[in-house]
Chain A
């Protein structure tokens, strides 16, 4: 298995402000996890490519892009109480978005079996017209939109601990995108209820699986089996894009789920089996703020993409969350059967 590894480590010039948890040290942590797991020699380096304005504009409004560019020319500034741009942020955000497009094109050329992208700033909170939650450009959405423009059907699996409100909003009524999110609830950004199932043209194609604090990985595996697998089978995706945040790890300071690196390995394996075809999976780094947890979890994910059983921590189980998953299944069933009446 050849895994393409696209990283902005050492090149990113984005800073929110000193001491902010979403900092350049995160990409170095991914590098160190990969090295410690002995994966570095098995990855094929991926070079990014410039992203064109029209590729951004499939997802973001022209006014929003102009405003980000203006703030970049101003030297940076605050976007919301969590998020800022520095000198170099725009360039780094473009590089992150372009890395996704480069990964898709390389996989289409048959150069690899999957791709893992260590990029920042993260993207899944960014809406069409608003930066928020550390996110500027919605990297996974820009790649998904490119695939949709090419007639492809896309499954986005978002296991970041926070709901990807931006991705949900962007593809809310798009019948070519199945968006699936597991996330802590209640938590930032306040969206992500189970009853949010998609717009009129994409009813059922928005799958939110809210989980209570303390949830362990067995609940996520149950969600994959009971909710995600049937939705994916019915949808029939051509591509799997993963919003791979690692802040559901039990050590992460930004949330309260109890997952381990082994859980991320299991989820990666299960997600790959859902798609059932090689060469069409791209994982994008989203959150993950405990650097040791990020190192272990990202390495476990990359190893699972390779088909290697590397679990530096055992998968977790025994916590709450299974009942929430079953309740979500019931809520979705009610919502969708109601829509058909």
Chain B
């Protein structure tokens, strides 16, 4: 595994929490850093209930949830998690972050926090698997009975 952080895509979905837990497990074993990246989309300007968030509060609000909730699986594993927010689609954001940060690998959940049912085009994991220059790990959805994610080891 090349030097560089383990890049994890996070969006608040159960799958992305699972991905972060898996990455944190690997970081414990390897000593690599974990960099959690969130792609800020167009709709995130609308807060809960569809009301507009002011520009100044928009990113801070997302960052607060990112820090306190989305990164919690990393902290639970005792791993320090760096956070980045970038505008764009998840796939493009992860590809550019992987390149710019010299990531050792990219870890994503099998699907994100979408609302429109299953898509067959342009899913983040599919696109990363085709285009990412470093290894990509796709972590499956949490087991329905609540079992922990498989830990790397």
Contacts and interface: CB of A to CB of B under 8 A. Distances in A.
Interface residues of A, number: 37
Contact of A80 (B40, B45, B120, B122): B122
Contact of A78 (B11, B50, B51, B117): B117
A81 B123 CA distance: 10
A235 interface: no
Given A71-B120, A213-B55, A80 B50 contact: no
A17 B115 contact: yes
Contact of B50 (A19, A68, A133, A189): A19
B87 A79 contact: no
A254 B45 contact: yes
Interface string B6-39: 0000010000000000000000000000000001
A278 interface: no
**Size category, B interface:** 20 to 34
Given A188-B45, A254-B52, A84 B87 contact: no
Interface stretch (B60-68, B88-96, B98-106, B135-143): B88-96
A245 B126 CA distance: 31
Given A130-B92, A253-B52, A254-B46, A77 B120 contact: yes
A138 B71 CA distance: 36
Contact of A188 (B11, B41, B56): B41
B153 interface: no
Contact of A189 (B87, B120, B121, B122): B87
28 contacts: A16-B116, A19-B50, A74-B120, A76-B116, A76-B117, A77-B118, A77-B120, A77-B121, A79-B119, A81-B41, A81-B90, A81-B112, A82-B42, A84-B116, A130-B122, A132-B88, A132-B92, A162-B42, A188-B45, A188-B87, A190-B40, A190-B86, A253-B45, A253-B52, A254-B46, A255-B45, A255-B55, A256-B55
Given A80-B122, A130-B91, A213-B54, 20 more contacts: A16-B116, A21-B46, A68-B121, A70-B120, A71-B119, A71-B120, A76-B116, A78-B115, A79-B119, A79-B122, A80-B91, A81-B11, A81-B43, A82-B41, A82-B43, A84-B114, A184-B55, A189-B42, A213-B55, A213-B56
